[in-house]
Structure 1
Amino acid sequence: MDNWWTNAIWSLTPTVLIGLFFWMVLRLILRADRTERKVFQRVEDEERAKAGLPVRKDT
């Protein structure tokens, strides 16, 4: 029985690690995109204010 549990753990470990890595990369990409959109919106609002245009309200 001890050998069965060892084999089960060794079989699942790579799948779990790859899954965690994929989740972390996807989370980092989504957070970076969200931050980039906020910064871009702030810059666009500043540029529109300099040009005398109304600030967009669609957030």
Structure 2
Amino acid sequence: MPQLNPALWFTTWAYVWLLMLLIFNPMMSYFHPLLPPTNTINSFKPHSWHWPWP
């Protein structure tokens, strides 16, 4: 078992995390956004789900 390089480990997981954020962030903000958009009053889109509270 070779010795694990912590810098290589950190950079690998940083790249994996950034790639996951780049892929999953638009998908999750489309399907399940954390906060509703700020201009919800006259800009209703029929497929944009948001939380019930304003």
TM-score (norm 1): 0.40
Task: From the CA coordinates, give the structure whose radius of gyration is larger.
Answer: 1
Q: Give the helix-richer structure, 1 or 2.
A: 1
- Of the two structures, which has the highest relative contact order with CA contacts closer than 8 Å and spacing of 6 or more? 2
Q: Please report the TM-score for the alignment, with normalisation by the length of structure 2.
A: 0.43
